[in-house]
Structure formats: structure tokens, C-alpha cells
Amino acid sequence: MTRRSPLLVAAATGLALLLGGTAFADGTMRYASIGEPPSLDQQVGTSDLSTTIAHHVFEGLYTFNGDYAPVPLLASGDTISDDGKTIVISLRDNVTFHNGKHMTSEDVVASLKRWGEFGSRGGLLFANVESVEATGEYEVTLKLTAPFGPWKNLLGFINGGAAIYPSEIAADAGGEPIAPENYIGTGPYKFVEWRPNRHIELARFEDYTSPPGDADGYGGARNAEFDTLQFVPVPDVGTRVSGLRAGDYDYAESIPGDLFEELDADEGVRTILNGGPIFGLVFMNSKEGPLKENFALRRAIQTAIDKVPALQVAIGPEKLWRANGSFLPEGNVWYTDSGIDNFSRGDAEAARAMAEEAGYAGEPIKLMVSTNYPFHYDSAVVYTKQLAEAGFNIDLQVYDWATLIQKRSQPDQWDLFVTHHGFVPDPILISVLNENYPGWWSTPEITELKAAFTATADPAKRQEIWADIQGLIYEQVPTMKTGDVYTYNIASPDLEGLESSTLVWPHFWNVSK
């Protein structure tokens, strides 16, 4: 037994050390996230988690205030020519990058150019851009081929958007996401390190100069009160909740609806609703298979489904969901009731008759879903059952997310798939309007409406056209909205300065503990 004693000694020493543990200092905010984000490069990729972290580091020319209206961030103002085709943006002259470089129009032009060529959402704007040039040290001029209404919304939406990088980094980057060593932005926090599965750490940027004005939404003054922000991947949701309750994290994201009442009542936990709802979408294949161009059959499917039981099962408490057919929520400028009578009829008999009339004879319809998002899966189970009751032969195919996104790009592999969409400030950003997005909705009707929608900057006119587009979505059914989901996060009550709800992504400037 002589072998054991050194180990015992080591164990005893270890225990002694462990008892003298240190709590995390007040200067650090620890955020429990659902996993690792893909690259923090905001121009390439549209992950919400990536933006939650990266919008502390990178900034765009504009951002959104509490009413989802674009306000200047790195820009200081802009003028538009009468024909709507020339936009002159003036820049703030007191902005410094994290590497010490002073920001000028050269950096902005290089960043916009890369975004236009490779950015996830850059093509939307740059399809209408003739040129982008530096017309002064702090002035950039955009020349458009035709007036383009949503330009400021696009420049303000940093997710997949026009983050401003130093020119040398933007110019060298190409289509590949920028590597961590080149995460140089202008934000109140700077990137420190990314340790796989351990954390992404940001630290206060001491030379930060805040934009003017009072804090409002993401706009106005930004003050980094924490020394460091740590974003820790905690993939198991039970552990995120336990960890926050145990005081190991200050903030934890994406908590299941069913825990809401319990956590809301817990004094040691603060629940924070997300202001902008996310919504589930069931896409239909417009390129191949039984649903191609068969709008009557698609409407039959739409008619068979009652969205409410799926929301009850997948989300839980009624406070956290709305069976709302409008793509943007009530109260938003883009809200419209056009077409929403058909949102959730749940009429199996009518659906059966419509399907018969549309020539459906029991062919299998492949419905793809991933269990990586439990609410996708839960909804799909309910829909499958409802569709079966209306006589549809649904072949439910369950994959992991990476497999699903590859399969959905192959038109012969699927007929329906379930995904969800984050809140967007302008409907032009909704994926179904992108004809390259799987589903490939590009009928002459939508193409015409889209052209009209972007050609004008007049808000009233655009809202009118959007109502027509939403009506067309309910008629041609390229996708089915499943309802609005108000996700929520939880925070330690010690955090001060948190707003009662988040706009889209939580932010931790002007927050302390």
C-alpha cells in the first residue's frame, strides 16, 4: 500500500488549495452562450450569437435606436441628392481602431467594398451601387444606379452587415472570414482571445470615444464599465440555468419557455424578454418535387395547419408567443394584416378537399427538421400529425443542423424544411425574399413586387408594397410563418443598467455590477 500515500498527500494538498477559491471579480461579466459562434467577422455570416459578441468590438456607420430607427454611429450625418441616387455620408473624426489607427474614409470604403463583394447581406445593397468612393478624409460618397429605399437600414444592421475594419485588413480578407488575430474594430470593447470551448474574452478599449447623445437602444453614448467580458459556451441548457443560479455566470441566453414562470418567480434570477420576436418558417421547395408551382396544393397544406398547439408545445407560456401571421409584430411600422386570415386555419376537411382538387394523390412529402433546435422539432411533430389528419403523407426526416443545411441546398432532397428567422428591422432582409435562399422563390409576381419595393424610399409607399408582398406570400406560400416567439434570457440581479428587454442582441456597454 506504500504506493498510495503520495497520492493521498497530493489529494489533501489539492483539497486545501481548492477550499481557498476565488470568486470572479466584479470587473468581469460572464455570459453563458449556447455554443461557439462561427467567426466574429460580421460582414460574412449571419449568426446571432456571433453578433451578440461582436457588436461590442465592431461598429457600423449606423445602428438602431430603441424604436428600430437607424441613427448614426461611426457616421455623423448624410445628405441625399434629389434624384435619390447620390448619398454623401460624413464620418466622425475622432474614431480610433483597437490597433491605434485613426479611422478615415479610406477604411470605410475598403470595408464597404469587401462587404459588397463578399458580405452576407452586402449584395442586397450593392446590386444597386454604381460606386463607393472617398470624397474627403471624413466623407464617403455612394452612387446608386437607382434610388434604393432601405440603404440606411442595411448599413445599420451589423449582423451580416457592413462592420468597419481597418482598410488593410478589409482589403486582404477576401471571402474567407477574418482570422481572430485580425479582429480589429472601433467598439467599446476590444478582442483579447478566443480559447476554443473555454471562452471568448473582450477587454475595455481605453481609447474609445463614444458617439454623442444619450443612450437609446444601440444608439447614443456607449460606456464600457466592465474590465472584461467573457462569453462562455455552455451548450447544455440545464447547465446554463444551474450555472446562473449558482452564480457562475451573470447572464445566460436562450432559455426554454417552460422554465419562464419558475425563473420569473425566483428572486435570484432576472428574466429579460427579447423585444424583437424571432419566428419559425417552414419553407416549401419551389424548384423541384410535388410542391413546385402547385400553389393550390401549398395552400392546402397551409390550411391544414393550426399553429397554436405547436406554439403551446414548443414554447409553453402564452406570454412568450403570439400566433401572429404578420411577418413583423404588432406595433412595428411594417405590421400588416394582409393575407393573415390564412395564417392558421387548422381545417383538416377543407385542406383535404383542396389537396384533392390540386391533384394530390398521397405522394410522400419530405419534411426536414433538425433536433439542434428543439422548437423546430417540436413544431414539426405537431404539424406532421395535423397534416396526416388531413390526408397528407408526410415523411418526417430528422437530421443534425449541418446535414440539414447541406441537404436543403439540393432541390431533390426535400419538399419542406423548418428553420427560424431572427428579428429584422426591414422586411427586405427576410430570407424568403432572397431568391437564392433554399426554396428559391422567384415567380414573376414576386420579382416585380420586389423591384418596386426597393425602388422607392418613401416609407408610406414601401409599407403599401410590403402589404402586397405579404399577401402574395399567403397566396403562393413559398414559406409558412409558424408564429412569433419572444425568446428570453436570464441575468443575475446584480447586473445594473440592463434594459427590461433586449432589442435584438443583448449589449453590455452601459452595464455594470
Closest CA to 29 of 203, 179, 194: 203
Of 107-115, 252-260, 270-278, 349-357, the segment contacting other proteins by CB under 8 A is: 252-260
Query: In angstroms, rounded to a whole number, what is the distance separating the alpha carbons of residues 414 and 369?
Result: 10
SS3 (DSSP) at 332: coil
- Phi-psi sector, 510: left (phi>0), alpha (psi -120 to 50), beta: left
Rule CB under 8 A: is residue 241 a binding residue for other proteins? yes
Among 194, 279, 417, 488, binds other proteins (CB under 8 A): 194
CB of 386 to other proteins, least distance (A): 10
CB of 146 to other proteins, least distance (A): 23
Which letter, b or e, does each residue of 58-94 get, where b requires 16 or more Cβ atoms within 10 Å of its Cβ? bbbbbbbbbebbbbbbbbbebebeeebbebbbbbbee
Among 237, 340, 449, 455, binds other proteins (CB under 8 A): 237
Residues 258 to 287 in contact with other proteins, rule: CB under 8 A? 258-259, 262
Rule CB under 8 A: is residue 39 a binding residue for other proteins? yes
C-alpha Rg value of the chain to the nearest Å: 25
Rule CB under 8 A: is residue 324 a binding residue for other proteins? no
Nearer to other proteins, 118 or 295 (CB): 118
Rule CB under 8 A: is residue 38 a binding residue for other proteins? yes
| Phi/psi at 483 (5° precision) | 125, 165
Residues 213 to 232 in contact with other proteins, rule: CB under 8 A? 232
Mind giving me the DSSP string for 76-88?
EEEEE-TTS-EEE
Rule CB under 8 A: is residue 403 a binding residue for other proteins? yes
Nearer to other proteins, 246 or 451 (CB): 246
Of 108-116, 146-154, 211-219, 434-442, the segment contacting other proteins by CB under 8 A is: 434-442
Among 85, 345, 407, 513, binds other proteins (CB under 8 A): 407
Residues 350 to 389 in contact with other proteins, rule: CB under 8 A? 371-372, 374, 377-378, 381-382, 385
CB of 508 to other proteins, least distance (A): 19
CB of 417 to other proteins, least distance (A): 12
Rule CB under 8 A: is residue 235 a binding residue for other proteins? yes
**Widest Cα–Cα separation across the chain:** 91
Rule CB under 8 A: is residue 22 a binding residue for other proteins? yes
CB of 48 to other proteins, least distance (A): 9
Rule CB under 8 A: is residue 396 a binding residue for other proteins? yes
Q: Cβ distance 418 to 380 under 8 Å?
A: yes
Residues 326 to 355 in contact with other proteins, rule: CB under 8 A? none
| Cα separation values, 366 from 88, 343, 357, Å | 50, 21, 21
CB of 67 to other proteins, least distance (A): 25
Residue partners of 287: CB distance under 8 A and separation at least 6 = 411, 440
Mind giving me the DSSP string for 55-124?
TTT---SEEE-TTS-EEESSEEEEEE-TTS-EEEEEE-S--B-TTSPBP-HHHHHHHHHHHHHH-TTHHH
CA angle, residues 434, 282, 68, in degrees to nearest 5 = 55
Instruction: Please list the helix, strand and coil fractions of the chain in percent, rounded to the nearest 5, in that order.
Output: 35, 20, 45
Nearer to other proteins, 135 or 406 (CB): 406
Among 84, 275, 290, 316, binds other proteins (CB under 8 A): 316
Query: In angstroms, rounded to a whole number, what is the distance separating the alpha carbons of residues 125 and 154?
Result: 7
C-alpha cell at 300: 392546402
Residues 65 to 94 in contact with other proteins, rule: CB under 8 A? none
Residues 112 to 141 in contact with other proteins, rule: CB under 8 A? 118, 120-121
Nearer to other proteins, 183 or 208 (CB): 183
Nearer to other proteins, 39 or 63 (CB): 39
Residues 455 to 474 in contact with other proteins, rule: CB under 8 A? none
Among 96, 437, 463, 464, binds other proteins (CB under 8 A): 437
Query: In angstroms, rounded to a whole number, what is the distance separating the alpha carbons of residues 252 and 34?
Result: 8
Rule CB under 8 A: is residue 160 a binding residue for other proteins? yes
Of 20-28, 66-74, 344-352, 458-466, the segment contacting other proteins by CB under 8 A is: 20-28
